[in-house]
Amino acid sequence: MSLQAKPNVRRGAGLKTYLYIAPAVLFVFCFCILSILFTLVISFTNWSGLGDFEFVGFSNYVAVFQDKNFLLSCINTLVWVAAGLIIPVVLPLLFAIAITKSSFSTLFKNLFYFPNAVSGVIVGLIMTSLLSMYGLPQLLGMMGFENLDKNWLNIPYVNTGVMIGAGIWQGIGMNMLLFIIGLVNMPTEPIEAAKLEGASGLTLYTKIILPLLKPTIIVVVLMSLVNSFKTFDSIWVMTGGGPYRTSETLAVTMYKESFSNSHLGMGSAIAVMLSVIILVISIVYLRKTFTREGGQ
């Protein structure tokens, strides 16, 4: 009897295990996989959100590349990505190194992380208030800089730089905490051995500490890359992509085509292309990184 009961007990335990993960699997299937498939399907239609679907093949993808605003959105997105891969990686690393050596590390962690706890919409509203005609520009005008007394968010291309600065200010805390965790959990034996060999200062960091911190750097770079591509909320609040669509990124263009212009087919095509771009870049980056690491 006991020998026959054991398979049933194991089978019951296995079924219980699947029941534990069933809600998460169902959630991912309904809200991720089905959403991706639905977006892919309507990208081949001219659906406006109401009425019937009309299959138009690759017309939306062709129309996207023929739209001059799409090229400008791509350029703005690349600017965001370039800035997001340099400043939000280098600065948090320097701050993390300085904070781990500071006696006020907890205070600095909270100060730098606080903007990350605020939503992008709130950050956009704060920056809009600071940089409008009644904020910092007016203060500079009162100080004698009359040429700066204007709404900076209405100046094409200048507003992109301002919004990138706001995004960096908001996201720098999370990257800094990741670097701090990497530095704190780093094995001390190689560092002590290097110090005994005479390594110090910049040599110690470039030859020993940064290679040991490589897994954290990979995560931070990948997160910064993805976040730069999908930046939307702060741009939408601060400029709405204007003036004259000069500050639009691909995420903003996707939203405008889908919901402002009711071209869900066109917006879905942009969403599919944006997802493919992020996926391909992430795969290439990870493959090259781990291939290089394996070769070493």
Instruction: Please write the tens of the pLDDT for every residue from 149-177.
Output: 788 888 888 888 888 888 888 888 888 88
Q: 4 or 91, which is more confident? A: 91
The arithmetic mean of pLDDT across residues 233-239, rounded, is 87
Instruction: Spell out the alpha helix ranges (H) of 29-119.
Output: 34-42, 59-66, 68-100, 105-113
The band of 1, judged by pLDDT with boundaries at 50, 70 and 90, is: very low
- Residues whose CB is less than 8 angstroms from the CB of residue 250 and which lie 6 or more positions away in sequence, other chains included: 73, 74, 77, 229, 270, 273, 274
Please give the mean pLDDT across all residues of the chain.
82
Helix (H) or strand (E) holding 154: none
pLDDT at 27 > cutoff 60: yes
Predicted local distance difference test score (pLDDT) of residue 44: 92
The band of 14, judged by pLDDT with boundaries at 50, 70 and 90, is: low
Is the CB of residue 224 less than 8 Å from the CB of residue 175?
Answer: yes
The band of 7, judged by pLDDT with boundaries at 50, 70 and 90, is: low
The arithmetic mean of pLDDT across residues 243-254, rounded, is 87
Q: What does the radius of gyration of the chain's CA atoms come to, in whole angstroms?
A: 25
CATH of 68-262, picked from 2.40.70.10, 3.30.56.10, 1.10.10.10, 1.10.3720.10, is: 1.10.3720.10
pLDDT at 89 > cutoff 80: yes
The band of 112, judged by pLDDT with boundaries at 50, 70 and 90, is: confident
Rounded Cα–Cα distance for residues 97 and 285 (Å): 25
Predicted local distance difference test score (pLDDT) of residue 2: 47
The arithmetic mean of pLDDT across residues 233-245, rounded, is 85
The arithmetic mean of pLDDT across residues 118-141, rounded, is 81
What is this structure's pTM? 0.79
The band of 121, judged by pLDDT with boundaries at 50, 70 and 90, is: confident
3-state helix, strand, coil in the chain (%, to 5): 80, 0, 20
Least confident of 104-113, 157-166, 183-192, 254-263: 104-113
pLDDT at 294 > cutoff 60: no
